[in-house]
A and B are shown apart, each in its own frame.
Chain A
Amino acid sequence: MSTILEFKNVSKHYDVSRNISEIFSGKQPKVRAVDNVTFKVKHGESVGIVGESGCGKTTLAKLILNLLNPTSGEIFFENKNVSNLNKIEEVHEFKKKLQFVFQNPYDALNPRFTIKDILLEPLKSLKFDPSKYEELINNVMNLVKLKNKDEYLSKYPHELSGGQLQRIVLARALIISPKFVVADEPVSMLDVSVRAGILNAFNEAKKTMNFTAIYISHDLALVKYVCERTIVMYLGSIVEDGPTKDVITNPLHPYTKALVKAVPVPHVDQSHEPLPIIGNIPDATKFYEGCKFSDRCPNPTHDCKSGNIKMGLIEARPNHWVDRCCVNCN
């Protein structure tokens, strides 16, 4: 399988200043939202990105979608550098291939548009042939399992339930038959009883349309259900990357271990052991010389903080990559 998306040493830093003297002294603190990230996604793959809030998941998604320009590094989409697209034609060409499913369906849809207008919007702005509109809408409504489509098309977003709205958001993303879909926590705002339905629709659409998917979540249980490969992020860096089943049953990084343990399961006899992680999420502006995880590592066996160790990922098992420093710590 060929590579569809490639990140090469991509970083995105945000400047944050608390007061004016910080700006003039040149000691502006930086939030390293995405820090030197390198990975590849193959055609047809579905990749889950997990991590706690503030670890850079959403920034990564925005970088993929070209909504943000990276501070450094290069992003390749179908072997073409897309990190700095300027021409409107290029942007259109790019956006025909790539779509986004938002987290909150209540905010993602224009309240003054009917569902039909909402679905037509991407077709109009990307200049699809108007004679095909009807057919495309039919197809996509079937795909997201909204039967009696005529009933929905003339309605406004406030007339639909959360689950139905998220199906519309999904339909809007899929209507142009994208090659690549990025979904940012698509079910976190929804009720449990409708979550399964949305995830099933997403999986089925993926099968029929054969797109590549990136699924962002903090819940490993949901990622497991949708993705075959999982990337775990911590403070802007990738700490573990491997086949989902392998990552869940046999996590190598202490942070992944904590994540797997923290997910509550619907069984009574589950362990109440303390998590193998200490402290809280550190200040996002903190700069680490060495291992970023050193503050929260339960048993560092060597001096991770000093910075004279080699950083980066190593392949610990076939296709299963993990942070070089932390794999030695336990």
Chain B
Amino acid sequence: MLEIKNLSIHYIGKNYRVKAVENVSFNLTSGELLGIVGESGSGKTTLIRSIMGVNPQSAKIVSGEIFYKNSKILDFKDDSIKGDYKWKEIAFIPQSAMNSLDPVYRIIDQMREILIVRGDYNKKTADKRSEELFSLVGIEKNRLRDFPHQFSGGMKQRVAIAMALALDPKILIADEPVTALDVIVQRQILDLFNELRNRLDLSIILVTHDVSVVAYLCHKVAVMYDGEIVETGPVKDILEKPYHPYTIGLNNAFPDLHSTNDFLEPISDSLFHELDDLKNTFNSLSLNNEKLVKSDKFVSLKNKFTKLNTQNEKNN
């Protein structure tokens, strides 16, 4: 469905250059649920925004290509996005979607705007489509004439999902869709994603910092650290046999409701420093990532953190 090849995005200012995304590649197959995890500043949002072409001006795509159904929709050379695929093929739910609804317009007017401007609906059919969408995400249709402030957080998230689905996209990209929500509402939204995927045959990319959300919902996961995808694979493998020390650290830092372990291991600064050092050494030797992973130093670092992991398990 969607293929991203060697994508690098840098923020370029007058006297600085931030490498937000470095050499990232992944594909999304039809009907797949892909989770991207990583902490703030790891480049998750920049990565997926580039697919929608909504990055700020200072973000420059310096290399890479994006393909959708085998047709190239983005080439770094001209830096602009080709084709009329936005919202119709790939839809995007921005971060804190609840705050991205316009507070002075009724929901129905905001729905009409998408349907009429982007799609080829008229006012009458747009209203009918809005009602359909509302029943799809589980909101009563008589609430279409309400203002955003009349909805609760979970309902606003549902409205945002309904809007994203307005023009029947095939891929849905959600940026931190459940971060600000309560656990019960969070669960309802996650179940909604799953249901929509089954019913509408969607492919979904879910960006989050919560490993357990990914574990609940996704098939495949990509772990991002410092602008790179450091580990990717089926969720089960990544959670049970993490390879990269950062993933191990991330797994340990998570509170688990049902484990009897009473100690959380914060990701230590020393791990970050060691990772950075390691990366710098290898960058200066101009080795690629694959060799880095196989190197002795890396393996010893990995063993160190696996040991820590097993120690924790013994304590259980």
Contact = CB atoms under 8 A, between A and B. Distances in A.
A323 interface: no
A242 to B, nearest CB: 16
Contacts of A225: 255, 262, 264
Interface residues of A, number: 39
Given A220-B257, A263-B183, A191 B209 contact: yes
A231 to B, nearest CB: 16
Nearest to A245: B260
Interface stretch (B7-15, B245-253, B285-293): B245-253
B3 interface: no
Interface in B258-299: 258, 262, 264-267
A297 to B, nearest CB: 14
Interface string B167-209: 0000000000000001111111011001000000000000001
Contact size class for B?
Answer: 35 or more
A199 interface: yes
Interface string A174-197: 000000000000000001111111
A224 B255 contact: yes
A275 B264 contact: no
A281 B151 CA distance: 11
Nearest to A270: B216
A267 B213 CA distance: 10
B235 interface: yes
A262 B257 contact: no
B216 A199 contact: no
A264 B212 contact: yes
B79 interface: no
Contact of A268 (B194, B235, B249, B266): B235
A277 B184 contact: yes
Contacts of B40: 162, 191
B1 interface: no
Interface string B219-256: 00000000000000001100110000000011111111
Contacts of B235: 268
B39 A275 contact: no
A191 B191 CA distance: 24
Given A192-B254, A280-B154, A262 B209 contact: no
B42 to A, nearest CB: 10
B256 A221 contact: yes
Contacts of B43: none
A193 B39 contact: yes
Nearest to A224: B257
A222 interface: yes
B155 A280 contact: yes
14 contacts: A53-B152, A53-B182, A193-B39, A194-B267, A196-B255, A219-B255, A259-B183, A259-B184, A265-B216, A266-B211, A266-B239, A266-B254, A268-B240, A272-B194
Give the 10 A-B residue pairs with the shortest CB-CB distance, closest first: A264-B212, A196-B264, A196-B266, A197-B266, A221-B255, A262-B187, A262-B183, A264-B216, A52-B182, A221-B257
Given A199-B264, A263-B257, 9 more contacts: A53-B182, A54-B152, A192-B210, A193-B267, A194-B267, A225-B264, A262-B184, A263-B212, A264-B190
